[in-house]
Amino acid sequence: MLTNMRTLTKDTVNKIGESVNLMGWVETRRDHGKLIFIDLRDRWGIVQVVFNPKNGELLKSADRLRPEWVVKIEGVVKERPKGMQNSEIPTGNVEIEAVGLEILAEAKTPPFDIAGDGHEIGEESRLKYRYLDLRRSRLLKNLASRDKIISFARNYLREKDFIEIETPILTKSTPEGARDYIVPSRLHAGQFYALPQSPQQYKQLLMVAGVERYFQIARCFRDEDTRGDRQPEFTQLDLEMSFAEEEDILNLVEDLFIKMVQDIFPEKKITQTPFPRISYKEATEKYGTDKPDLRKNKDDKNELAFAFVVNFPMFEWKKTDPSTSSGQRKGRWDAVHHPFTKIRSADWRTEITKENADNLMAHQYDFVLNGYEIAGGSIREHNPKILETVFEIMGNKKEDIRKQFSHLLEAFEYGVPPHGGIAPGIDRIAMILAGEPNIREVIAFPKTGDGRDLMMDSPSEISTDQLKELHIKIEKQKEK
């Protein structure tokens, strides 16, 4: 039995002549006459191990080794002979002369190659065996980069006196835009929780509570169609500030991201600082999109073109019947950002009306990078009467507004400070900075394009007993 004192592969370069104990996976095995070589892999890299014929029993054990077996190896770190170094890996100047071997776990032949970058492998296979896919160095590097982004943001905001606070995952279903994921209550028959589309109302209530500066690495859930930069569940850096104006929040975000890039991704070059501020009107008229790609060389993955898009319309018209002509105006007004956004106006009493909805502008701002929206935010409406009016413009009845948002409207009657915030999307940011084509490459266990988890086989049916406990009856569609 080998000792439990472990040396990581990356540290072997500093231990020439020393005895070490390594643990990891067999990446490859090569037979060279009477010698057997393996590349041993752990999270930090690979190192070459050589088994020589001086120890016949050890060589015999090494002959059994196959890719992805898990082993302990005791050996001595030696310099590789001149002409045999490998400049492509950090440990390429050393090798381990094995003196002991313990097989911790054997492995079946993987369904695909783990040594490559994996882009050539079908996504369904990769996601079904995600625990194998994650062994490849590219994905481990992506997860490590994501961790650095989150850690940097946490430390930065704490230095600015923000407090990290967790908000509930089981919450209330309210009309905020996307479809909610619904959770039935066992104890309260016929009633349901919703998973949060964002912590929007909770963070505003924290401003009422006097927290003043809040942030959270927040899990969010939206039942909407997926795409390359969207998942049913995602992560955002959620932050909110009291007594803050729009420029306060934009300047904070700009400083955070400039310093983050300098610290974690020094090879990246930011196109322009300060970040440009572009109006929604200019962006759509000049670039044909509200998330313009301002890079000078769009083929350069190391170029980062950050920008803020500001001065959005408050409302947009949504038809309820696609066949109806716009002149008939059959549909409803919807908030471009969300209903809690403050309207840019001086005279609330005369200007906030349904008849004037298409003239109202919002204190909304988006943060874009290389043609992607990576954050959205706004200064919030903290006057409960104006907030009620906004919901009425969107077609909600006054009694329904009170029923669905009574907690927030009542809270705003107890002394609420002006406040605003923003929520950068961790997944999209990590994707762009890693140079990946979609966010599934920077999420440990993502869903497929149609929202399935192939590894866990979900969504799935539940038992009849569970359905009874939840007071739910499944009605199957009749065959036509």
Cβ atoms of residues 21 and 6 within 8 Å: yes
| 262 & 382 share domain | yes
> Is the pLDDT at 439 greater than 70, yes or no?
yes
Ramachandran quadrant class, 451 (left: phi over 0; alpha: psi -120 to 50; beta: rest): left
| 35 & 140 share domain | no
Which of 74-78, 279-283, 319-323, 408-412 shows the lowest mean pLDDT across its residues? 319-323
Mean pLDDT of the 189-214 span: 95
Closest-CA residue to 102 (of 36, 22, 19): 22
Determine how β-strand 45-51 pairs with β-strand 94-105.
parallel
Cβ atoms of residues 178 and 222 within 8 Å: yes
Task: Provide the CATH number for the domain around residue 52.
Answer: 2.40.50.140
Q: Is 104 helix (H, G, I), strand (E, B) or coil?
A: strand
Mean pLDDT of the 250-270 span: 98
| Binding site residue list for ATP | 222-224, 231, 373, 425-428
> Is the pLDDT at 356 greater than 60, yes or no?
yes
Residue 86 lies in a domain: yes
What pLDDT, on a 0 to 100 scale, did the predictor assign at position 346? 52
Rounded to an integer, what distance in angstroms lies between the CA atom of residue 65 and that of residue 394? 66
> Is the pLDDT at 86 greater than 50, yes or no?
yes
Which of 114-118, 169-173, 181-185, 326-330 shows the lowest mean pLDDT across its residues? 326-330
Confidence of residue 480 (pLDDT cuts 50, 70, 90): low
What pLDDT, on a 0 to 100 scale, did the predictor assign at position 329? 60
| 46 & 149 share domain | no
What pLDDT, on a 0 to 100 scale, did the predictor assign at position 8? 97
| 139 & 99 share domain | no
| 287 & 227 share domain | yes
| 177 & 269 share domain | yes
What pLDDT, on a 0 to 100 scale, did the predictor assign at position 321? 60
| 416 & 362 share domain | yes
Residue 457 lies in a domain: no
Q: Is 61 helix (H, G, I), strand (E, B) or coil?
A: helix
| Binding site residue list for L-aspartate | 176, 222, 337, 380
| 309 & 376 share domain | yes
For 188-210, the DSSP string reads STT-EEE--S-SHHHHHHHHHTT
Rounded to an integer, what distance in angstroms lies between the CA atom of residue 166 and that of residue 217? 8
- ∠ CA 309-222-225, nearest 5°, is 85
- How many domains would you assign to the chain? 2
Domain range for 19 is: 9-105
Percentage of residues of the chain with pLDDT beyond 70: 94
| 409 & 331 share domain | yes
Mean pLDDT of the 225-243 span: 89
| Binding site residue list | 176, 222-224, 231, 337, 373, 380, 425-428
Mean pLDDT of the 311-322 span: 80
> Is the pLDDT at 230 greater than 50, yes or no?
yes
> Is the pLDDT at 2 greater than 50, yes or no?
no
Residue 126 lies in a domain: no
Residue 114 lies in a domain: no
